[in-house]
Amino acid sequence: MESKMNTREKILTTAAILFQKNGYHATGLNEIIKESATPKGSLYYYFPNGKEELAAATIKLMGDKIQHDIKEELAQNSDPVQAIKEFILDLAWKFNEKEDQENCFSIGLLALETVSISDSLRKACTEVYDMWTDTYYQKLVSSGLSSEKAKELSLILQLMIEGAITISLIRNDNTMLVATAEKIPVLLKDK
């Protein structure tokens, strides 16, 4: 049973890296099979509906991994301003470390590439973004912010972070992530 889980995980992790590196359209199933060193039958066993089903599972995997990282980082500091700022600075640091770049998954590029062709992938991305936004919301509410204000600010945080990730990827540097982190105290000053 464990080897089946390992094979599925290997396929998903490889797909996540390739989708992020090459894009959804430029990544073929044969390339995923080759790079993951798994049998072709395994891919179709775990993802019988093909590439779209695999991409949806990949979005969930990346979403859960990033969710874990967000929660872990935010739990390290009771002050939400400092916790969120440190989380973004950690993203910026990972972005510049070549060995960590493969672990800095973002669903933004995959979402943009597939939103107009697949309702199921659009929904998968929406669920992940909502999950992340809710994590910021929970942190802000637990620090005493009203539910209404926390809802507004958590959405703005998500927008700022995703925008900074996208521009950092385009520019191949982390300055937008650092700039975003530096503005967190301004955004949350009246919390």
What are the Cα distances from residue 32, in Å, to 22, 81, 134? 11, 40, 32
Q: How far apart are the first and last CA of the chain?
A: 48
Query: pLDDT tens digits for 89-119?
Result: 998 988 877 555 555 567 888 888 888 889 9
Check: CB of residue 36 under 8 Å from CB of residue 54. no
Would you tell me how many other CB atoms lie within 10 Å of the CB of residue 39?
A: 11
What are the Cα distances from residue 130, in Å, to 36, 136, 157, 182, 188? 30, 10, 12, 24, 20
State which residues of the chain have pLDDT below 50.
1-2
Query: pLDDT tens digits for 118-130?
Result: 999 999 999 999 9
Q: For residue 3, what pLDDT is reported?
A: 52
CATH T-level topology, domain 2-187: Tetracycline Repressor; domain 2 (1.10.357)
Domain boundaries, the chain: 2-187
| SS3 track for the chain | CHHHHHHHHHHHHHHHHHHHHHCCCCCCHHHHHHHHCCCHHHHHHHCCCCHHHHHHHHHHHHHHHHHHHHHHHHHCCCCHHHHHHHHHHHHHHHHHCHHHHCCCCCCHHHHHHHCCCCHHHHHHHHHHHHHHHHHHHHHHHHCCCCHHHHHHHHHHHHHHHHHHHHHHHHHCCCHHHHHHHHHHHHHCCCC
pTM for the complete prediction?
0.87
Q: Mean pLDDT in the chain?
A: 89
